[in-house]
Amino acid sequence: MARMNHEEAVVTTRLDAVVNWARKNSLWPMPFGTACCAIEFMSMMASRYDLSRFGAEALRFSPRQSDMMLVLGTITNKQAPVLRQIYAQMAEPKWVVSVGVCASSGGMYRTYATLQGIDRVVPVDVYVPGCPPRPESMILGVIKLQEKIERESLKARKEHVERFYESLARQEALQARRGLSTHQAVREMVLEAAAAGQQAIF
Ligand code: SF4
């Protein structure tokens, strides 16, 4: 009978590595679909491309039950506070993938009504280029996110999300102080940040 060598049986690792391994292989996606990129997302989730092969099959339409938001389509300035609220309601830790040029930069909609990139109002982890990006590109985006999750520290992710909550508190204080709507408050914060040479409000 073979004798067990206990020295070889012991495996050591870091807590971050084990937790991140579990996190990256159990992402729960939530689509924030507003335009044509959402159609490509449907294709990515369906049987031909099948994102479940990458451990992200539990598709949910509730922020409470998701931790990876994919923003798919044009986001108007009036939708910006809605996007922020939905991100705030998601389970922690949470990640955002900006899919397509419209979500990432406003795309061809360089107008006063369109948000010129969602990364002004919510923290984005991965950008997927294209108009529309093919399902393969979106899958690559999810793989890049998994690689990022694998490398990040638990503390850094916590601080990342907390910075957003601080900006949400500033937004609510601005609304209460000046009697502004959510849309007006976010717009004002975006303009203030731009005047200070910053792009994001968190
Ligand atoms: S990036 Fe292109 S395909 Fe995607 S929502 Fe914008 S216009 Fe539609």
Q: Give the domain ranges of the chain.
A: 14-152
Expressed in angstroms and rounded, the spacing between residue 108 Cα and the centre of ligand 1 is 9
Taking CA atoms only, the protein residue closest to ligand 1 atom 2 is 131
Taking CA atoms only, the protein residue closest to ligand 1 atom 7 is 131
- Cβ pair 24, 55 in contact under 8 A: yes
| Residue of 123, 130, 101, 127 whose CA lies nearest to 114 | 101
| Predicted local confidence at residue 1, as pLDDT | 58
Expressed in angstroms and rounded, the spacing between residue 102 Cα and the centre of ligand 1 is 6
Expressed in angstroms and rounded, the spacing between residue 151 Cα and the centre of ligand 1 is 30
Q: pLDDT tens digits for 114-148?
A: 999 999 999 999 999 999 999 999 999 999 999 99
| Residue of 194, 188, 191, 193 whose CA lies nearest to 171 | 188
Q: What's the rounded Cα separation, in Å, for the pair 120 and 128?
A: 16
Q: What's the rounded Cα separation, in Å, for the pair 92 and 117?
A: 23
Class of domain 14-152: alpha beta
Q: Give strand ranges (E) for 34-94.
A: 68-72
Low-confidence ranges of the chain (pLDDT < 70): 1-4, 6
| Predicted local confidence at residue 32, as pLDDT | 97
Expressed in angstroms and rounded, the spacing between residue 130 Cα and the centre of ligand 1 is 8
Pocket (CB within 6 angstroms of ligand 1): 35-37, 73-74, 100-102, 107, 131-132
- SS3 of 109, please? coil
